[in-house]
Amino acid sequence: MTTPTIELKPSARPTSAGEREAILANPGFGRHFTDHMVTIKWTEGRGWHDGQLVPYAPIPLDPATNVLHYAQEIFEGLKAYRRPDGSVATFRPDQNAKRFQRSAKRLAMPELPVETFIEACDALVGQDKDWVPAHGGEESLYLRPFMIATEVGLGVKPANEYLFLVIASPAGAYFAGGVKPVSIWVSEDRVRAVPGGMGDAKTGGNYAASLLAQAEAATHDCDQVCYLDAVEHQWVEELGGMNLYFVYGDRIVTPTLTGSILEGVTRDSLLTVARDLGYTAEEGRISLDQWQRDSEDGTLTEVFACGTAAVITPVGTVKRSTGAEWKQSGGETGEATARLRQALLDIQRGITEDKHGWMHPLG
Ligand SMILES: Cc1ncc(COP(=O)(O)O)c(C=O)c1O
């Protein structure tokens, strides 16, 4: 089945330059949206059709729309960056497109072709490129592609109609006052995902399931939750929205993908960037007890989290429900963490050579 090209129907009344600049001066995260969105429909028997770029607007939904009841929904998150010459590029959109296909498959949804996913992102960024913040800081334009089941009816079954959309939101620097280590609450009873479940799919239900544990973390004065495996409750998996890395001097280790961990694009990129910088980078299993022991005896020199939002976030404090608590790297940002963060940021912002062909320039 062929896929549609995207018909451009831009807004006759886009945001004024003055208003846009005021938003870009302090965008925050996910609070403001650009002037347009892309929509593509899928219908059983017809496939993908009616690709359009239209003014950003609410989408009317019948109260019995399938997604509102059974959560057949998937999404992605990626960023467009302004480069020193003023041009704009996205980071590894093919990886997000492929993960979107894997998520679709897990949720019994139709798979959007990789090239259509990229074309939709390009169309939106191309139309709204004035919304991409200036080069120089850590600001970017965050893209949120997503797909929902739009069949009307309460039958529990894969829908026969879907809507794919891409919206965009300018994002401020994650750490406004400089990189600050986060505190982690290790949830030893609540789990995020189970073997055979959908932890490796980027679907809203996983995030709904994480909110209670996140609220519990806050009552323990922690910023983020770390989840363990759902069977033995001892193997470290990931945070609610970021993957983890453990630094043993020149060796960095990230938990092996088990099916219940989201395969982060940043996680994957860092395996390569770390090797480029001379580290040994590998996947492996780390238990919570080992984490505590290796931190206390000093062999585990740093721990950091990674994801599209913050690139790399140092872990400063770890708290367990047993009452044990320790400072990681003395609560400071470690050297490897800072080096890897800068190296990846420099690639994304077009400051260093893109030797792996990760940047996708527009136009
Ligand atoms: C649960 C979870 N793990 C890991 C990540 C990091 O993935 P990425 O590096 O692709 O942003 C995210 C963010 O998307 C996430 O939501």
Helix or strand or coil: residue 125?
A: helix
% of the chain exceeding 90 in pLDDT = 94
Atom of ligand 1 nearest to the CA of 99: 10
Residue nearest atom 7 in ligand 1 by C-alpha distance: 264
For residue 224, the CA-to-ligand 1 centroid distance in Å is: 13
Q: Which part of the chain has CATH 3.20.10.10?
A: 182-348
The pLDDT of residue 178 is: 80
DSSP 8-class letter at 258:
-
The secondary element (H helix, E strand) that includes residue 96 is helix 93-106
Lookup: tokens for 226: 């770390």
- Please tell me the distance from the alpha carbon of residue 314 to that of residue 328, in angstroms, as a whole number: 9
Ligand 1, residues 211, 236, 308: which to mutate, most atoms within 8 A of Cβ? 308
Asked if the model's pLDDT at residue 106 lies above 80, the reply is yes
* Closest among 96, 170, 147, 85 to 349, alpha carbons compared: 85
Q: Are 36 and 128 in contact (CB under 8 A)?
A: yes
* Closest among 321, 280, 286, 320 to 303, alpha carbons compared: 286
Residue nearest atom 16 in ligand 1 by C-alpha distance: 241
Beta strands 88-91 and 78-82 are antiparallel
pLDDT tier for residue 343 given thresholds of 50, 70 and 90: very high
Which residues line ligand 1 at a C-beta cut-off of 6 Å? 77, 238, 241-243, 262, 264-267, 307-308
- Across the range 239-253, mean pLDDT stands at 97
The pLDDT mean for the chain works out to 96
- Across the range 227-255, mean pLDDT stands at 97
Residue nearest atom 13 in ligand 1 by C-alpha distance: 241
One-character DSSP codes across 10-48:
--SSPPPHHHHHHHHHS-TTTS---SEEEEEEEETTTEE
- Please tell me the distance from the alpha carbon of residue 68 to that of residue 70, in angstroms, as a whole number: 6
Q: Which fold has domain 7-171?
A: D-amino Acid Aminotransferase; Chain A, domain 1 (3.30.470)
Asked if the model's pLDDT at residue 1 lies above 60, the reply is no
The pLDDT of residue 164 is: 98
The pLDDT of residue 312 is: 96
Ligand 1, residues 29, 184, 262: which to mutate, most atoms within 8 A of Cβ? 262
- Across the range 272-276, mean pLDDT stands at 98
For residue 345, the CA-to-ligand 1 centroid distance in Å is: 17
Q: Are 203 and 158 in contact (CB under 8 A)?
A: no
Lookup: tokens for 327: 């400072």
The pLDDT of residue 321 is: 86
CA distances from 38 to 54, 163, 310, 346 (A): 6, 10, 25, 29
For residue 243, the CA-to-ligand 1 centroid distance in Å is: 6
Domain 182-348, CATH class in plain words? alpha beta
Which residues contact residue 287 at a Cβ distance below 8 angstroms, ignoring those fewer than 6 apart? Answer: 234, 235, 236
The pLDDT of residue 177 is: 75
Asked if the model's pLDDT at residue 344 lies above 90, the reply is yes
Helix or strand or coil: residue 268?
A: helix
Burial degree of 56 (CB within 10 A; 0-12, 13-18, 19+): middle
Lookup: tokens for 220: 């323990």
The pLDDT of residue 3 is: 66
Which residues contact residue 177 at a Cβ distance below 8 angstroms, ignoring those fewer than 6 apart? Answer: none
Q: Which part of the chain has CATH 3.30.470.10?
A: 7-171
How many other C-beta atoms can be found within 10 angstroms of the C-beta atom of residue 248? 15
Lookup: tokens for 239: 């945070």
Helix or strand or coil: residue 141?
A: strand
Atom of ligand 1 nearest to the CA of 238: 3
% of the chain exceeding 70 in pLDDT = 99
- Across the range 61-71, mean pLDDT stands at 98
Q: Are 93 and 76 in contact (CB under 8 A)?
A: no
For residue 198, the CA-to-ligand 1 centroid distance in Å is: 14
Residue tagged 């239209």 (tokens): 54
For residue 305, the CA-to-ligand 1 centroid distance in Å is: 10
Instruction: Provide the H-helix boundaries in the chain.
Output: 17-25, 67-70, 93-106, 114-127, 204-219, 265-276, 288-296, 335-348
Atom of ligand 1 nearest to the CA of 78: 11
For residue 271, the CA-to-ligand 1 centroid distance in Å is: 15
